[in-house]
Structure 1
Amino acid sequence: MSGSWSLVIPVKPTADGKSRLDGARLPRPALALAIALDTIAAAADARCVDEVIVVTSSADVIAGLEHIPGTRAIPDPGMGLNGAVRAGLAQAAGPARAAMLGDLPALSAHDLDGALTAGTQYARAFVPDAEGTGTTLVMWRDVTLYESRFGAGSANEHRAAAFVALPVDAPGLRRDVDTAEQLRDAAQMGLGPRTTNLLRAVEAA
């Protein structure tokens, strides 16, 4: 398996997370926490990942990291998503660095390993989201090129900045979740244990 990657995952406070799920009759902060921790745990299990740096000011996320080896938290500087990514990249140990969204509840370590291995061929690369317009993972192999462009239309932004779009077959890596429909899509792929248990508890209530 190729790599030795430092991976940054920015996570906003769970009280503010998943606001577009407000109408879905789900416990939104608890769901945001479960999704984030499932994402982080899957990333930490990837063989290509040496360390996972979680950029967050959320106390419940930080507490959850105590049960996920290979992770550490640094404070969110409050400069938005790309500002959080920059802060995490500045703390990374090795030259091969990546940043990934924290709302990928169907992520598998296998899918992440495949993408990171493919990314070793390029100075910088990215994985588009399921819709093809956003970005879920960005990778850098050149220490002079660390800058992400997460946000609306980020796939085109990354292409314009000479990032290579990787055509990986990794549905869990590409399925970020902001809406109830996207959550149902992720559930068909297989959710992580925390998200699964939470949704089962909600259904049983």
Structure 2
Amino acid sequence: MDTPDTSGWTIIVPVKPAAVGKSRLVDVGVDREALARAIALDTIAAAAAATLVSRVIVVTDDADIGAELRREPQVEVVPEGDTRGLDGAIARGADVAGLGTARAALLGDLPALRPADLDAALELAASVERGVVVDSEATGSTLVTARAGAVWVSAFGEDSAARHRLLGCTDLAVGGDSTLRRDVDTAAHLSAAVALGIGPRTSAVLIAEAR
């Protein structure tokens, strides 16, 4: 039996322009656009810092995020362009990554993500053709993976955990307390992420607005 390859993952992060992203965070009492960008940038930084990640492809038309990431040598920004929908943006990134590399789509709303938690999931993902990490509510998905050579598929959105399983994704047995599972769509989710320990950009936005 071949030893699983646990190195050299390409992470694809789709990020909506902040003007339309994270619309359910309007009631948290801070600048929603600034918060949406901060959450995305903290997620991307954590992914780039993971030991098993060699490349991060960010698919976005947000000019401010693109400008911020140009100084990051490990991160490549790909314009979303005419692509429509989350899965379309991810597929665009997967095409850029190429079939010959292990790829994973990571949602850009994980401000508490720790690189070690992403590494742990990618180690598990190396042993399956396709994998999925479910969110804290166990209905959505935060990470979908495909080994090198596997055709890319994803079905993000409402109840995506079940749809990813139908596409052949194996549940990756990350712990219930993994920061990889705490995505942020609502004020309650943000509070839970804060309790886990959010990244510096998200923290700075919340602190600035609290003054």
The answer, yes or no, to whether TM exceeds 0.5 is yes
1:101-144 CA-to-partner distances (Å, cap 9, x unmatched) read 00100001110001001100000001001100000000001424
Quote the Cα distance in structure 2 between the aligned partners of 1:49 and 1:144: 18
Report the counterpart of residue 171 of structure 1 in structure 2. Answer: 178
Q: Which moved more, 1:68-77 or 1:41-50?
A: 68-77
How far did 1:197 drift?
A: 1.1
In structure 1, list runs of 5 or more residues that go unmatched.
Answer: none
| 4+ long deviations beyond 4 Å | none
For 2:79, which of 62, 75, 82 is the aligned residue?
Answer: 75
Report the counterpart of residue 52 of structure 2 in structure 1. Answer: 48
For 1:35, which of 33, 39, 64 is the aligned residue?
Answer: 39
Report the counterpart of residue 20 of structure 1 in structure 2. Answer: 24
Q: What amino acid is the match of 1:98?
A: A
Report the counterpart of residue 205 of structure 2 in structure 1. Answer: 198
| SS at 1:102 equivalent | coil
**Residue 186 (1) aligns with residue 193 (2):** yes
Q: Which moved more, 1:47-56 or 1:69-78?
A: 69-78
Report the counterpart of residue 86 of structure 1 in structure 2. Answer: 91
How far did 1:97 drift?
A: 0.7
Quote the Cα distance in structure 1 between the aligned partners of 2:37 and 2:155: 24
1:8-57 CA-to-partner distances (Å, cap 9, x unmatched) read 00000011111101122210000000000000000000111110000000
For 1:129, which of 125, 130, 135 is the aligned residue?
Answer: 135
In structure 2, list runs of 5 or more residues that go unmatched.
Answer: none
**Residue 60 (1) aligns with residue 67 (2):** no
Please say if residues 30 and 205 of structure 2, whose CA atoms lie closer than 8 Å, have aligned partners that are also in contact: no
Quote the Cα distance in structure 1 between the aligned partners of 2:136 and 2:157: 14
Quote the Cα distance in structure 1 between the aligned partners of 2:160 and 2:9: 22
For 2:105, which of 99, 115, 137 is the aligned residue?
Answer: 99
Quote the Cα distance in structure 2 between the aligned partners of 1:106 and 1:66: 23
How many residues align structurally?
Answer: 204
How far did 1:63 drift?
A: 1.0
Report the counterpart of residue 144 of structure 2 in structure 1. Answer: 138
Q: Which moved more, 1:62-71 or 1:157-166?
A: 62-71
Q: What amino acid is the match of 1:88?
A: G
User: What is the TM-score with the length of structure 2 in the denominator?
Assistant: 0.93
Q: Which moved more, 1:31-40 or 1:87-96?
A: 87-96
CA RMSD, Structure 1 to Structure 2 (Å): 1.3
Please say if residues 124 and 142 of structure 1, whose CA atoms lie closer than 8 Å, have aligned partners that are also in contact: no
Please say if residues 101 and 149 of structure 2, whose CA atoms lie closer than 8 Å, have aligned partners that are also in contact: yes
1:58-79 CA-to-partner distances (Å, cap 9, x unmatched) read 0011011124330010111431
How far did 1:177 drift?
A: 0.4
Quote the Cα distance in structure 2 between the aligned partners of 1:68 and 1:41: 9
Q: What amino acid is the match of 1:120?
A: A
Q: What amino acid is the match of 2:88?
A: G
Quote the Cα distance in structure 1 between the aligned partners of 2:25 and 2:112: 17
User: What is the TM-score with the length of structure 1 in the denominator?
Assistant: 0.96
| SS at 2:57 equivalent | strand
Percent of pairs with identical residues: 48
